[in-house]
Amino acid sequence: MKEKSNIFNRDKPLTIMITGGSSGIGFQAVLKLISLGHNIILPCKNISRANEVLTNLFNHSLDESSNKGEIYTPIMDLSDLSSIDSLCSEVKNRRWTIDVLILNAGLQYTGSKTPRRSTQGIELTFAVNHLSHFYLTQKILPFIDIRNDPKIIITSSEVHNPNSGGGKVGAKASLGKLKGLESGAGFEMIDGNKFNADKAYKDSKLCNILFARKLSDNFMKKKLSIPVIAWAPGLVISRDNQGFFRYSRKYNQLGQILFAFLARDILKITTSNKKAGLLLSNLACLSKYTKPGFNYYSNKIISSGKFIFEETEISNDAQRGDLSDNLWELSKSLIDKINK
């Protein structure tokens, strides 16, 4: 990556770290941000994936006269907390400072009857969607210069809210009293109940917002005016085998095909990776999204094929200060035990 000034000016190149940038929404956001001249740190799971991403970016690149930013693809596996340590050591050694941190990676394996586990033995949805991002944020904060007007962006979902369209379908998001998380790494569900893959995903999206709120509260207590933005891209279903639903297709391919056809082609309640990626790139670099504190935006459908992206109220559980406090402390405690 080229050396550059880190003066945070929305008209000048930013250094942006994004997880989940190798496919789907994240990849489309990276394409847009690079075309605008911004510099991207895009952690990839392994060298093979990093090379694939670089090839895809080259194949999608604009003409050579465009003001492209630089891209670097260090190795980081969100299913392994020790991999986050290695990434942050590399950031330190290269003396990078980061203007925008985008926590976009996520997985869902709806249809599975049994939990998958991270390297540290944690249920994989919770590990990747929440805990690893929680840990990455703590480790990367020293490399975010508050003088550069930074921001942190977290991709959540409307399904965190039991009263939303997607949140009403199937098991609803609810963390209970966090009994599962409290019990240690071997839990199946955060609330202590038996594994439900669909609910595990919804719960993780609720965790995203609770984490964002608590992080913002911590900044405000330190008199740091850092925007912490959580956002919901809407229902995104691509026509290929890439993107978010690639995991769920392994467990219920026919069901996923039928659901995609109904939602995308008949009801027209889905958006595309490209459109959602543009929203994410706008959150990262437009000055209109710099309001200090916690902010939540949702890409809401208003009629068949039509969406509006606006600031939206979060669910009742997501507004609970006691829940955000407890989630923070138990997440920290779990990581501390693992790192002993």
| Sheet architecture: strand order including 100-103 | 71-72, 39-41, 15-18, 100-103, 151-155, 227-232, 293-303, 306-311
pLDDT of residue 64: 47
Query: Taking Cα atoms as reference points, which of 123, 106, 130 lies closest to residue 248?
Result: 106
Q: How far apart are CA 25 and CA 275, in angstroms?
A: 8
pTM of the model: 0.90
Give the β-pairing of 15-18 and 151-155.
Answer: unpaired
d(CA 22, CA 8): 25
Sorted by where each starts, the structural domains of the chain and their CATH numbers stand as 15-339 (3.40.50.720)
The total number of residues shown for the chain amounts to 340
**Residue 237 pLDDT:** 67
Structure tokens at 152: 């942190």
Task: Walk along the chain (340 residues) and give the pLDDT tens digit of each residue.
Answer: 433 333 334 567 999 999 999 999 999 999 999 999 999 999 999 999 999 999 999 888 755 445 588 999 999 999 999 999 999 999 999 999 999 999 999 999 988 899 999 999 999 999 999 999 999 999 999 999 888 889 999 999 999 999 988 889 899 999 999 999 999 999 999 999 999 999 999 999 999 999 999 999 999 999 999 999 999 998 766 656 555 555 555 555 655 656 555 555 544 556 688 999 999 999 999 999 999 999 999 998 766 667 789 999 999 999 999 999 999 999 999 999 999 8
